[in-house]
Amino acid sequence: MKIKSRALLGVLNSLVVFVIRMIFKTTRLEFVGDSLDRCPFADTGSERYLYSVWHDSVIPPLFCNVEHNSVALISQHRDADTIEAMLKAARMGAIRGSTTRGGASAMKKLMTSAEGKHVVITPDGPRGPHHQMKPGIVFLASHSGRSIIPNAFAASRCWKFQGSWTSIWIPKPFATVYYLVGNPIHVPEDISREEMREYTDLVQDKMEELEQELEQLLTGPVQERSTVPFRKAA
């Protein structure tokens, strides 16, 4: 059943955000390896990046820390209203737009809105398929001069809520959230369609590698986990 009343939808969004914030107040954030040096919370100097996060892991980046130096690119569709409410609660900016519509002029407008900020993008959203990279983030990297940084999140314990094409997971109270950040991937300007596909496949491969590394971390011995604790999530 779809909720047509914007007022009611706003109330429900606020309730969802409140519950998630309360959960994240109990969680512990751990950076895997040297990920803390490349995450959106780190001091990257004047360098700004495009952070790639799978759609099902979109919740942890919003609530792991309140000091965001980033904005998120979200759909213009009404379905993204809840995500925008979460972004505001997490003190993180939102840009309503698309990496696939409007061509280079639209990309320029998006990056002007994100000047001085990192941009977080879900490359398999907003309609899927699940964990299938779309070329939009590569197109944006090519036209903006920003490198792409793959990201992966996992939790020691979580709930999964199944949607129409993917699930969204939220850590359970007092769980540990693990954050793994890959190395920057630079995309040259004016690349061909074939090169676009090659870079899209490259980012896909790197995202999958991070997911596999986190899966091995969660299933391996606790004492062998090389992680750096961060301050308690907001």
Mean pLDDT in order along the chain per 10 residues (234 residues) = 63 80 88 86 80 90 68 71 72 72 62 84 84 92 93 94 82 94 95 96 98 92 77 46
Query: Pairing between strand 148-155 and 70-74?
Result: unpaired
Q: Name the 3-class secondary structure at 104.
A: helix
Answer yes or no: is 136 within a domain.
yes
The answer to whether residue 126 sits within a structural domain is yes
- In whole angstroms, what is the distance from residue 216 CA to residue 168 CA? 21
Q: CA-to-CA distance for 153 and 156, rounded, in angstroms?
A: 10
> To which H or E segment does residue 74 belong?
strand 70-74
8 A C-beta contact, residue 110 and residue 73:
yes
Q: Compute the Cα dihedral for 89, 54, 36, 23 and give only its sign.
A: positive
CA nearest neighbour of 59 among 89, 35, 79, 30: 89
pLDDT at residue 2, as a whole number? 55
Residue 38: inside a domain, yes or no? yes
- Domain coverage including residue 90: 6-229
The per-residue pLDDT for 234 is 42
Q: Considering the domain boundaries, does residue 1 fall inside one?
A: no
Q: Is the dihedral of CA 9, 10, 14, 17 positive or negative?
A: positive
Contact indicator for 208, 190 with CB cutoff of 8 Å:
no
Give a yes or no: residue 149 inside a domain: yes
Domains of the chain: total: 1
In a domain, 78, yes or no: yes
Give the pLDDT score at 208. Answer: 97
pLDDT at residue 4 in the model: 59
Residue 234 within a domain: no
On whether residue 120 sits in a domain, the answer given is yes
User: How far from 222 is each of 8, 186, 199, 218, 225, CA to CA, in Å?
Assistant: 44, 34, 35, 8, 6
Q: Nearest 5°: phi and psi at 7?
A: -65, -45
